[in-house]
Amino acid sequence: MSVPISVMKDVEIFDPRTNDCVALNGNAQFLSAAQRIIVIGSGPVGIRVVQEVLKRKPFASVLLFGNEPFQPYNRVQLSSLLAGEIDRDDIDLPLPNSSLYPHFNYVISTVKRVDIENKSLVDASGESYRFDQLVFATGARAHVPNIQGVEQTGVYTFRNLKDTEFLYARVTRARHVVVVGGGLLGLEAARALSRLNTQVTLVQQASRLMNRQLDEPSSELLQKQVEALGIKVITCSGVRQIHSSGEVIEGRSSVSGVTIHSGEDIACDTVVLCAGIKPNIELARDAKLKVARGIVVDDQLTTSHKDIYAIGECCEHQGTTYGLVNPGLEQAAVAANALTGGNAKYLGSLSVSRLKVVGQSVCSMGSVTELQRSPFLTEVVYQNHELSLYRKVVFLKGKVLGVVAYGDWPEFTRIQEIYKQGRTIYPWQLITFRLTGHFWWKDPSKDVSAWPEETVICQCNNITHGSLVDALENGCRSQEQLSEATGAATVCGSCKPLLDQLVEHHHGETQQRGKESGWLPLLVGSFLAVCIVFLLVFQPEAQVSNSVIQKPWFESVWNDGYWKQVSGFSLLGLSVLGLLMSLKKRAGWHWMGKFSHWRMFHTLLGVGCVATLILHTGFHLGVNLNQALMINFLIIIVLGAMTGLVVALSHKLTASHAMTLRKFWTWGHVLVSWPLPVLLAAHVVSVYYF
């Protein structure tokens, strides 16, 4: 039965137990035939399916159940809350506005039983609720491994807000915490606890941290970062026993230490279990729905009952359960479509992890570990030790099979789209990637504005390019306003640079950025190098004097055999040094020290080279081979100086323009440097042997 909108706006009383509306303007009106939807689970996925349903049908009768005595919250940010980086209110998820959606209700109570035959459920207070459609978004709970002594006081899990509050209260008096599990949750728990001046040891059963997402080199970089925080890491081991101190607290013995599989004893007073999750399927199983590892669903997220759905960590689609937020958000959109009469299908989610782990960006997608050998399988790796960057892309017949990256990588979203669409990466792009770590000459962030509207910019919240553009057109003028309006960049924050680019492109405003280290000496040196080059090119050639007795000092340098050799070999030495310094960044020679300092010295070398060139040639450009060498030298100096000018003044440009100009001049400088060693060698040979 359909109800006019004007009637719905006058609703004064709504009973969620019967889903009936009564006492409308003094007239008894009933909506017992209206669609009644109940969602069990108030996490991000449960909230999202409610929002999507109400977006399509604002006056639908929707009842949301949450079993925690809190406002719905974002579980992803619990580690930041534990570390004291954000406030409690910062993790709250907003509920639908009751003035816009009068038939939405939120109930804090545990659902005890679901009767699928009578389409009803009973909560912990004994109240019964009827439904037409039911959505399980019950999520998952922390897996508690079968370890002797695990039931003692001082053993915690880290999965929900209650766990976080217990840990925060505990850690103020804890001296040594052992975290069990080297996955994302374990690492974030260890980082948060270490920030509270507590000794932390992390025990990982696998041979490396985040073994499901990272390969060996990237995991090694991650482990170094973790250990730099003061956290001790033990891999290839697990906890086999938790020891008791003999002291009884709250009726249970307390922790005194653990024994790991190697036999080593570790004294501690607190153990945090982060050893994976288990889908919450008990309620569905008791209701006689089909379950396996999760609640089994089809392509419309429907369970074995046609009017009951399951989404998020609790569901199993085509034999796969997902432990990340983004697949659950995608499932919520499909389920909402089905609930409101659509025919959308869920075909599975990409196995994509784009996370902030202990303050570093970690990206993983597709198959990157334990790959089977194939003649068509190719691995391309870029690594920069100084910047702690590692990127590996696995190709099968030219198509992206998997990606892993440690450190910021602006191109990752673009690579993800190529992976999703099955597009080809070309050989010249592989060469560019090996040298620079990028597949495209242009900065990918510059192209964000040209991406299709359906491209997902914020992976955590599934926010598309089109949604962000709509928000910009509706008045958002900064990244913060854009995040507040759309929810983008509110989880891991890795897409903030992309939002900055969209704001700059849409409003034509340069976002404030810091100056490059040593920008002023770099600016002066680059400008001086250009001036000397122009002087060398346009100054008339020095002439040989008629008198040997009255020879000017300048002629005695450029036209004297001895000093010509001195200036020539000085120029050769400066050129070789400049070429070696250029390898610092490309070969990752971190032993050479801070790059910004060497960049300034490299600029001074350029000035020194062109000044020495004047002393060596006397403003003569030469002929034939010598002329080619001279022209090559001057072009190298000019392009290098232009690169320096762009770098020094990059804070005056938009981010996209700065990166585009920087790459253009840098690569021009690098490319024209390749002929120099050959021309120098040919010049030396021609002078001394012919």
Q: Of residues 507 and 431, which shows the higher confidence score?
A: 431
Residue 131 lies in a domain: yes
Kind of pairing between the strands at 352-357 and 239-249: unpaired
User: What was the pLDDT predicted at 690?
Assistant: 55
Do 265 and 289 fall within a single domain?
A: no
Averaged pLDDT for residues 235-254: 81
User: What was the pLDDT predicted at 10?
Assistant: 37
Please, are residues 16 and 105 in contact by the beta-carbon 8 Å criterion?
yes
- Measured between alpha carbons, how far is 325 from 311 in angstroms, rounded to an integer? 11
- Measured between alpha carbons, how far is 558 from 616 in angstroms, rounded to an integer? 5
Q: Of residues 106 and 591, which shows the higher confidence score?
A: 106
Residue 640 lies in a domain: yes
pLDDT digits (tens, 9 = 90+) for 611-632: 888 888 877 777 787 888 888 8
Find the helix packing angle between 561-587 and 675-689, rounded to 10°: 160
Q: Is 237 exposed, middle or buried (0-12, 13-18, 19+ CB in 10 A)?
A: middle
Do 530 and 497 fall within a single domain?
A: no
Question: What single-letter DSSP state applies at residue 158?
Answer: -
User: What was the pLDDT predicted at 147?
Assistant: 93
Do 505 and 589 fall within a single domain?
A: no
Please, are residues 137 and 46 in contact by the beta-carbon 8 Å criterion?
yes
Q: Is 44 exposed, middle or buried (0-12, 13-18, 19+ CB in 10 A)?
A: buried
Do 220 and 303 fall within a single domain?
A: no
What predicted TM-score, i.e. pTM, was given to this entire model?
Answer: 0.64
User: What was the pLDDT predicted at 561?
Assistant: 72
Residue 376 lies in a domain: no
Do 665 and 535 fall within a single domain?
A: yes
The one-letter code for the residue type at 610 is V
Only one residue has tokens 């990982």, namely 204
Residue 182 lies in a domain: yes
Do 528 and 623 fall within a single domain?
A: yes
| CATH number of the domain to which 87 belongs | 3.50.50.60
Do 472 and 525 fall within a single domain?
A: no
User: What was the pLDDT predicted at 168?
Assistant: 87
Q: Is 652 exposed, middle or buried (0-12, 13-18, 19+ CB in 10 A)?
A: exposed
User: What was the pLDDT predicted at 30?
Assistant: 31
Question: Which of 2-6, 10-14, 563-567 is most confident?
Answer: 563-567
| CATH number of the domain to which 492 belongs | 1.10.10.1100
Answer yes or no: is pLDDT of 104 > 60: yes
Distances (CA, A) of 12 to 24, 97, 198, 546, 625: 6, 16, 54, 111, 93
- Measured between alpha carbons, how far is 75 from 662 in angstroms, rounded to an integer? 40
Beta strands in 532-633, from DSSP E residues, in sequence order: none
Kind of pairing between the strands at 277-279 and 140-142: antiparallel
Please, are residues 150 and 144 in contact by the beta-carbon 8 Å criterion?
yes
Do 271 and 283 fall within a single domain?
A: no
Answer yes or no: is pLDDT of 18 > 80: no
Quickly state the pLDDT bin for 356 (edges 50, 70, 90): confident
Residue 299 lies in a domain: yes
Quickly state the pLDDT bin for 474 (edges 50, 70, 90): confident
pLDDT digits (tens, 9 = 90+) for 524-547: 888 888 888 888 788 877 776 665
Question: What number of other Cβ atoms are within 10 A of residue 624's Cβ?
Answer: 8
Quickly state the pLDDT bin for 15 (edges 50, 70, 90): very low
Quickly state the pLDDT bin for 688 (edges 50, 70, 90): low
User: What was the pLDDT predicted at 249?
Assistant: 63
Task: Report the range of poorest mean pLDDT among 75-89, 93-107, 348-362.
Answer: 348-362
Residue 372 lies in a domain: no
User: What was the pLDDT predicted at 20?
Assistant: 44
User: What was the pLDDT predicted at 461?
Assistant: 67
Q: What is the mean pLDDT of the chain?
A: 82
> 542: which residues sit within 8 A by CB, 6+ positions away?
554, 555, 558, 559, 618, 619, 620
The helix, strand and coil proportions of the chain, stated in percent and rounded to the nearest 5, come to 40, 20, 35
Do 198 and 283 fall within a single domain?
A: no
Residue 221 lies in a domain: yes
Kind of pairing between the strands at 120-123 and 128-130: antiparallel
Q: Return the structure tokens found at 109.
A: 């109570």
The one-letter code for the residue type at 59 is F
Do 473 and 610 fall within a single domain?
A: no
Averaged pLDDT for residues 195-207: 90
- Measured between alpha carbons, how far is 655 from 504 in angstroms, rounded to an integer? 8
What's the full length of the chain, in residues? 690
Task: Report the range of poorest mean pLDDT among 50-59, 263-272, 407-416, 575-584.
Answer: 575-584
Do 637 and 537 fall within a single domain?
A: yes
Averaged pLDDT for residues 206-219: 92
Can you tell me whether residue 273 is helix, strand or coil?
strand
User: What was the pLDDT predicted at 518?
Assistant: 74
Do 52 and 174 fall within a single domain?
A: no
pLDDT digits (tens, 9 = 90+) for 600-615: 777 888 888 878 888 8
Residue 431 lies in a domain: no
Phi, psi of 534 (to 5 degrees): -65, -35
User: What was the pLDDT predicted at 5?
Assistant: 29
Distances (CA, A) of 46 to 65, 163, 488: 9, 20, 18
Domain that holds residue 89: 5-140+279-339
- Measured between alpha carbons, how far is 510 from 190 in angstroms, rounded to an integer? 38
What is the chain's alpha carbon radius of gyration, rounded to the nearest angstrom?
A: 33
Among 474, 495, 511, which residue terminates a domain? 511
Answer yes or no: is pLDDT of 332 > 80: yes
Task: Report the range of poorest mean pLDDT among 58-62, 171-175, 338-342, 392-396.
Answer: 171-175
Among 488, 511, 534, which residue terminates a domain? 511
Number of domains in the chain: 4
- Measured between alpha carbons, how far is 446 from 1 in angstroms, rounded to an integer? 51
- Measured between alpha carbons, how far is 620 from 613 in angstroms, rounded to an integer? 10
User: What was the pLDDT predicted at 32?
Assistant: 39
Among 339, 356, 377, which residue terminates a domain? 339
User: What was the pLDDT predicted at 200?
Assistant: 95
Answer yes or no: is pLDDT of 9 > 60: no
Averaged pLDDT for residues 516-523: 78
